[in-house]
Amino acid sequence: MLTSLVLTVIGPDKPGLVGLLSHTIANHHGNWLESGMSRLGGKFAGILITQVPETEVEALTQALQGLAQQGLKVTVEHSEEPPPAAAMQPMVLELVGHDKPGIVREISHALAARHINVERLSTELTSGSMSAEELFKAEAELLAPADLDPDELQQALEAIAGDLMVDITLR
């Protein structure tokens, strides 16, 4: 029987870290399924899902924790598949505007109030093409309840966008 594990990793960025992880997983008959990894603030950070035979879980966990000697901290959690949700509607939210504190807080509060789950969130700071000011960009993949009124959500997001002086697109 296979067991799914969710791994979070962080350490000083250097070449070979993905290879180190993949080699350790493969040595324990694991299969690398999904991942998202980035260099952030000089650190290598990521999250991934692997499947491994149940008989290898303990040995793999110990081997991954042993990577701390090479500067890579790995946390291992058993994956718990959520029960099937009622019909959900997928949405994508895109945001761009001048950077300021509170953008993610305000948007996430509006989404949580409507029981919308953030499935994936990606943010970045970039230089504005016409000015030297930094622009904050975000893209979020969302799952909203089937009975959610998209027009009401759009109006709520437009009100927030006006307060924050950002552009928000919901599709």
The reply to whether 123 and 146 lie within a common domain is yes
Whole-angstrom Cα distance, residue 78 to residue 71? 23
| Token pair listed for 90 | 């997928």
Rounded Cα distance between 58 and 145, Å, is 38
Domain end residue (candidates: 23, 57, 78): 78
Instruction: Identify the CATH number of the domain in which residue 23 sits.
Output: 3.30.70.260
CA distances to 33, 89, 101, 116, 155 from 146, in Å? 28, 5, 32, 10, 18
Statement: the pTM of the whole predicted model exceeds 0.95: no
Same domain? 65 vs 96:
no
Asked whether residue 83 is domain-assigned, the answer is: no
Question: Which helix H or strand E contains 43, and what residues bound it?
Answer: strand 43-53
What range defines the domain where residue 66 resides? 2-78
pLDDT tens column, 70-114:
999 999 999 976 655 567 899 999 999 988 888 999 999 999 999
